[in-house]
Amino acid sequence: MSDTARHNPICKKIFNKKRKPFNSLKQRLQGTDIPTMRKKPPAKNAHEKKSNWRQQHEDFISAIRAAKLATQAMKEGRPLPPPPPPSINPDYIQCPYCMRRFNETAAERHINFCKEQAARRSFAPGQKGGKPASEKQGAPRKEPTLTSAVGTLLQNRLQEGANTGQSVTGKKQHI
> Read out DSSP for 118-137?
HHHHTPPTT--SSS-HHHHT
Domain enclosing residue 105, as ranges: 90-124
73 inside domain:
no
Q: What was the pLDDT predicted at 67?
A: 93
Write down the pTM of the prediction: 0.35
d(CA 160, CA 165) in angstroms, rounded, equals 8
Q: What was the pLDDT predicted at 146?
A: 47
Q: How many independent structural domains does the chain possess? A: 1
119 inside domain:
yes
Q: What was the pLDDT predicted at 173?
A: 52
99 inside domain:
yes
Q: What was the pLDDT predicted at 36?
A: 60
Q: Give CA torsion, residues 55, 58, 59, 61, to 10 deg.
A: 160
120 inside domain:
yes
140 inside domain:
no
Q: Which residues contact 86 (CB under 8 A, 6 or more apart)?
A: none
pLDDT tens, N- to C-terminus, the chain (175 residues): 678 888 888 888 888 878 788 888 888 888 787 766 666 777 766 666 677 888 889 989 999 999 999 999 999 999 998 888 877 887 889 999 898 999 999 999 999 999 988 888 865 555 555 555 444 555 555 555 546 666 677 777 777 777 766 554 555 555 5
- CA distances (Å), origin 38, targets 9, 25, 26, 33, 44: 37, 11, 11, 16, 18
d(CA 129, CA 98) in angstroms, rounded, equals 8
Q: What was the pLDDT predicted at 124?
A: 52
Q: CA end-to-end span of the chain, whole Å?
A: 143
59 inside domain:
no
Q: What was the pLDDT predicted at 45?
A: 67
d(CA 161, CA 167) in angstroms, rounded, equals 5
